Amino acid sequence: MPRPRSPQSDHDFLAREIAALTRGQSRSWAHIGYLLDRIDQTDYWRNEAKSFTEWLKGHAESLGLKESTLWRYLTAGRYYIKLREALTGRGVSCPPLGELPDKVSPENLELLSKLARVAPDNALQRLAEQVISGGITRAELRTVWQAYRPALGGRTARGLGVPPPRINLRNREQFESLTEAMVLTSLASGDPSWSGIRNPDLYELFMHISPESDGATPRRYIFDAVAVIRDRKSDPLQIHGIEIAGGFHVNWSGKLEGMAPYFNFLWIAVPEQAERIEKLTVPDFVGILRVMSGHVVVERPPRQSDLLGGRVLEMTKGLLLKSLKR
């Protein structure tokens, strides 16, 4: 979509497009977001209203859209303009806002803007490229946001002019949450071959899962991640438990032995920046994963143990409840 070259041509262009929308002609959300931004930036609204907000509210009905929808289009469009500028500066080619394909939704850009508060730059760029190319679904992106969101500690931007919260890496709790999110997203989107199965018939990762006890035993654990894997349709499901180790020393032996009955296989996942795990503190049946630049590397495979598997049914019930609530 060519940009107008002068104030008058800008005005004429906007007038034609508004008239087309009023007549019911279809336009993409991105095109409408671009128009709204130009209407605000060029002061097109001044001849008809006291403010841009008043203009938008007054034209929502004639444009055939809710006021909240117009604001969403505008907000997503403005975020994309800034995102495109940043990506272009890194050599990533992106279409202008008015030419953005329909597969790029305002909802995905909204999720991406939230992730920008907390995700590392390299992870955010990968996600942005996936969003623009249509290589990630809304459900997948929402899963990534759910992984990173706890790092903000429940803080939200409330009130007019309040800046959105951002991660503080000096805060130990937020740093640990960020580390956990980076590992979880690598496990969710990466190659499942770390499990020993390269092309599984089924691979699903669940986050923050509790087993469903029989009532006699209270819930004792909330597991960082649980992977459900099946090699072929005729094979039984494998339940892999994954505990994420941050950069702080922990005596893993007792904790992992208590977790073992709920799984067929048990792992510790270690982020790239964390200190090397002291393997003597990790039971020999527990596998060790290292997450490096978004890739999952097996440092030590898990082994069979008599401690494993005794309460897998309780974990399976917990997974079923989690699936039903999705």
pLDDT digits over 184-194, tens only?
Answer: 888 877 678 99
Residue at a domain's end among 102, 118, 146 = 102
Q: For residue 302, what pLDDT is reported?
A: 96
Other C-beta atoms closer than 10 Å to the C-beta of 295 total 12
Q: For residue 98, what pLDDT is reported?
A: 85
**107-121, 241-255, 310-324: the lowest-pLDDT one:** 241-255
pLDDT digits over 290-308, tens only?
Answer: 887 778 899 999 999 999 9
- Clarify whether residues 319 and 194 are in a common domain: yes
97: which 2 tokens? 């806002």
- Clarify whether residues 92 and 203 are in a common domain: no
Residue at a domain's end among 80, 102, 124 = 102
Contact 92, 129 (CB under 8 A): yes
Task: Write out the H or E segment, with its range, that includes residue 242.
Answer: strand 238-244
Better-scored residue on pLDDT, 216 or 34: 34
90: which 2 tokens? 């890194």
Torsions phi, psi for 124 (to 5 deg): -65, -40
Give the CA distances from residue 214 to residues 217, 218, 306, 311, 317, in Å, rounded to whole numbers and listed in that order: 7, 8, 22, 10, 10
Q: For residue 276, what pLDDT is reported?
A: 60
Is position 191 within any domain? yes
Q: Is the pLDDT of residue 128 over 50?
A: yes
Is position 13 within any domain? yes
291: which 2 tokens? 């997450």
Rounded to whole angstroms, how far apart are CA atoms 110 and 73? 10
Predicted confidence band at 326 (pLDDT cuts at 50, 70, 90)?
Answer: low
Q: For residue 157, what pLDDT is reported?
A: 40
Q: Is the pLDDT of residue 214 over 60?
A: yes
How many distinct structural domains can be found in the chain?
Answer: 2
167: which 2 tokens? 């991660």
Rounded to whole angstroms, how far apart are CA atoms 302 and 130? 33
- What percentage of the chain exceeds 70 in pLDDT? 83
Best CA proximity match to 28, nearest among 82, 100, 134: 100
Contact 116, 85 (CB under 8 A): no
Q: For residue 63, what pLDDT is reported?
A: 93
Rounded to whole angstroms, how far apart are CA atoms 321 and 325? 6
Q: Is the pLDDT of residue 162 over 60?
A: no
- What percentage of the chain exceeds 90 in pLDDT? 52
Rounded to whole angstroms, how far apart are CA atoms 146 and 128? 17
Q: Which residue carries 């073992």 as its tokens?
A: 260
pLDDT digits over 109-118, tens only?
Answer: 999 999 988 8
Q: Which structural domain range is residue 300 located in?
A: 187-325
Is position 221 within any domain? yes
List the 265-271 sheet strands across, edge first.
202-209, 223-230, 238-244, 265-271, 287-292, 295-300
Rounded to whole angstroms, how far apart are CA atoms 288 and 194? 10
pLDDT digits over 133-161, tens only?
Answer: 988 888 888 888 888 877 776 544 433 33
Rounded to whole angstroms, how far apart are CA atoms 123 and 119? 6
* Mean per-residue pLDDT, 273-278: 62
Is position 278 within any domain? yes
